[in-house]
């Protein structure tokens, strides 16, 4: 999976799975537009990945702003001359532990704005660019929650189900245009933020995984790279759990 000379956008790139995915793409030679809500954080990450700044572009952008997503793609095209891949990873979980009748409206609106609208806005701009060149591949980050219900997380669970529907619809629309679109459903992963969770909670999360452990972020990133690559050239419209067997139970 050599991405030398290719250009990818990663949203939510400065932390968690987005960071691991960006690292994996960079290691495989891709030019990267790294988008994140906090420009200083994503700029620092870009410098860490690429001190000379030859293959990275840091973009401060809120995915819930459609104008920012169009600007993100325009900046990428201006810097690198094209767009081959996109990983729409940015997302928030919102609060846990609220049954639907008690779920705060403001939290619902924010989760939907970031996780659903943000994915749509990013794809809308990315697909327009890819359509011009007649090729491309997109991976959207859903979740294991995208195909199961989890009490107390109505906004996040709804949003991640919606990402799958959006992915499949767009995949059908662009199947003959040379653009592949898939979604993955990560389970619990040992990101930096997750590892700040108390040990007993981490152990509980691990026990819910049939493999008995959390995912390594690099394992998720490698699967994303596979779906973007020509090795997955006949895969589009798919939802692929990468959850240690969680949703098979």
* Catalytic one of 121, 156, 174, 188: 156
Is 156 labeled as catalytic in the residue annotation? yes
3-state SS, the chain, equals: CCCCCCEEEEECCCCHHHHHHHHHHHHCCCEEEEEECCHHHHHHHHHHHCCCCCCEEEEECCCCCHHHHHHHHHHHHHHHCCCCEEEECCCCCCCCCECHHHCCHHHHHHHHHHHHHHHHHHHHHHHHHHHHHCCEEEEEECCHHHCCCCCCEHHHHHHHHHHHHHHHHHHHHHHHHCEEEEEEEECCECCCCHHHCCHHHHHHHHHHCCCCCCECHHHHHHHHHHHHCHHHCCCCCCEEEECCCHHHC
As annotated, the active-site residues are: 156
């Amino acid at each position: 999976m050599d991405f030398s000379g290719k250009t990818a956008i990663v949203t939510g790139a400065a932390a968690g799975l987005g960071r691991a995915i960006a690292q994996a793409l960079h290691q495989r030679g891709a030019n990267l537009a790294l988008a994140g809500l906090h420009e200083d954080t994503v700029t620092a990450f870009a410098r860490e990945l690429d001190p000379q700044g030859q293959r990275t572009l840091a973009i401060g952008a809120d995915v819930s702003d459609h104008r920012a997503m169009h600007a993100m793609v325009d900046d990428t095209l201006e810097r690198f001359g094209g767009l081959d891949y996109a990983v729409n990873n940015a997302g928030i979980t919102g609060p846990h532990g609220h049954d639907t009748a008690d779920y705060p409206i403001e939290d619902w609106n924010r989760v939907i704005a970031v996780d659903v609208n943000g994915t749509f806005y990013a794809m809308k701009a990315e697909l327009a660019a890819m359509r011009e060149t007649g090729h491309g591949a997109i991976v959207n980050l859903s979740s294991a929650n995208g195909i199961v219900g989890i009490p107390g997380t109505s906004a996040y669970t709804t949003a991640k189900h919606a990402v799958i529907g959006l992915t499949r619809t767009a995949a059908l629309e662009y199947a003959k245009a040379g653009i592949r679109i898939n979604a993955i459903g990560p389970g619990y992963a040992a990101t930096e933020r997750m590892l700040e969770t108390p040990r007993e909670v981490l152990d509980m999360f691990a026990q819910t995984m049939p493999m008995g452990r959390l995912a390594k972020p690099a394992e998720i990133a490698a699967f994303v790279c596979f779906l973007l690559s020509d090795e997955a050239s006949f895969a589009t419209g798919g939802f692929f759990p990468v959850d240690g067997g969680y949703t098979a139970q």
